Amino acid sequence: MGTTIDGYRASVDGVKWFAYFFLEGQVYPKLKRFVPSLLTTPGSITKSWARLIPRTQAIVQTLQSQGVVSKYKLLEIWGLDEKFLLSAYKKWLPESAHAEVAQI
């Protein structure tokens, strides 16, 4: 995967696909160990019914608010706000994993 999802840029679909790769740990490999603990599969974020699930809306809206569809842009935002995306990501995890993910 390049720095931007080709052909998608900052479209809603581009944000959803970026969120999918992020949740799978492909964007930020330190999160890969949490994939088995996710409360919903990453693939659900690209489904038409995803908007009905609050956690999918939270991560998509958070990414979209800053136009994040690339690892480069995410790292740029994290340079300004290291907690960006943490709240939305924690919605995908059981509460028992919240403290551990906050340490990363």
Range of the domain at 89: 12-102
Domain count, the chain: 1
In the chain, % of residues over pLDDT 90: 83
**Is residue 68 domain-resident?**
yes
Is 1 part of any domain? no
CA distance 31 to 102: 11
Q: With bands split at pLDDT 50, 70 and 90, how would you rate the model's confidence at 12? A: confident
In-domain check, residue 5: no
Whether residue 37 lies inside any domain: the answer is yes
In a domain, 6, yes or no: no
Q: Which segments of 34-100 are extended strands (E)?
A: none
Q: 4 lies in a domain?
A: no
Neighbours of 101 (CB within 10 A): 17
Residue at 90 is within a domain: yes
- pLDDT tens per residue across span 24-78: 999 999 999 999 999 999 999 999 898 899 999 999 999 999 999 999 999 999 9
Task: Judge whether 2 lies within some domain.
Answer: no
Q: Examine the pLDDT at 102 and tell me if it is beyond 70.
A: yes
Burial 55-69 (b: 16+ CB within 10 A, else e): bbebbbebbbebebb
